[in-house]
């Protein structure tokens, strides 16, 4: 296959929606992780596989191990990151560690897409900090909701999800 034909073939592949997309929720509050699960159950997005983590440092260690092993299917495309993650642990530090690790493993990182780190804390400034570290965005988190209206706004249609997978940011509301 010529280099030109290969580029065209690769470009065509990138336009296709992924067969599955791994999403992680990292939060020390089980009820918040359950809300994320209920939200994606309501959306009924067949391509989404959700893993939830109560221990943020464990999640980052698993991310690092999967990246080292070349387990691209085991790497999250999207991470909902809470800020307050228990004593001595916060989402901003974990976001930095995850991205530093991704950058440091350049050989694999060329194949592994940069994770979309979504700030998802009940404190808007903390969510914004995580979003700035991840060069992504924040979604508000409200404890009283059964499902997350913010997550629904961004993920509720296949078109919105495809856009997010491709661009790393939600579709414009305009």
Domains of the chain listed by start with CATH number: 29-166 (3.40.50)
118-171 pLDDT, tens digit per residue, is 999 999 999 999 999 999 999 999 888 999 999 999 999 999 999 999 999 999
* CA end-to-end distance (rounded Å), the chain: 42
Write down the pLDDT at residue 173: 55
Cβ(136)–Cβ(118) below 8 Å: yes
26-50 pLDDT, tens digit per residue, is 999 999 999 999 999 999 888 999 9
Reported as a pLDDT band with limits 50, 70 and 90, residue 10 is: very low
- Of 9-13, 69-73, 149-153, the least confident: 9-13
- Give the rounded percent of residues in the chain with a pLDDT score beyond 90: 68
Whether residue 5 is predicted with pLDDT greater than 50 in this model: the reply is no
Whether residue 20 is predicted with pLDDT greater than 70 in this model: the reply is yes
| H-helix segments, the chain | 3-15, 30-43, 56-69, 91-104, 106-109, 124-134, 149-155, 158-167
Determine the 3-state secondary structure of 60 from DSSP.
helix
Write down the pLDDT at residue 80: 97
- Give the rounded percent of residues in the chain with a pLDDT score beyond 70: 86
Angle (nearest 5°) at CA 67 between 139 and 26: 30
pLDDT averaged over the chain?
86
């Amino acid at each position: 296959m010529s280099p030109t034909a290969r580029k065209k073939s690769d470009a065509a592949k990138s336009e296709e929606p992924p067969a599955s997309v791994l999403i992680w929720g990292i939060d020390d509050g089980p009820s918040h992780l359950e809300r994320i699960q209920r939200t994606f159950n309501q959306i009924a997005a067949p391509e989404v596989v959700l893993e939830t983590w109560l221990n943020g440092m464990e999640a980052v260690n698993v991310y690092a191990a999967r990246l080292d092993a070349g387990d691209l299917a085991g790497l999250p495309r999207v991470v909902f990151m809470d800020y307050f993650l228990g004593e001595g642990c916060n989402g901003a530090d974990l976001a930095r560690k995850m991205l530093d690790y991704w950058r440091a493993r350049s050989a694999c990182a060329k194949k592994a897409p940069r994770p979309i780190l979504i700030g998802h804390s009940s404190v808007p400034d903390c969510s914004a900090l995580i979003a700035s570290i991840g060069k992504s965005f924040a979604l508000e988190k409200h404890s009283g909701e059964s499902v997350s209206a913010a997550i629904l706004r961004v993920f509720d249609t296949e078109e919105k999800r495809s856009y997010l997978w491709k661009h790393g940011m939600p579709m414009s509301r305009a």
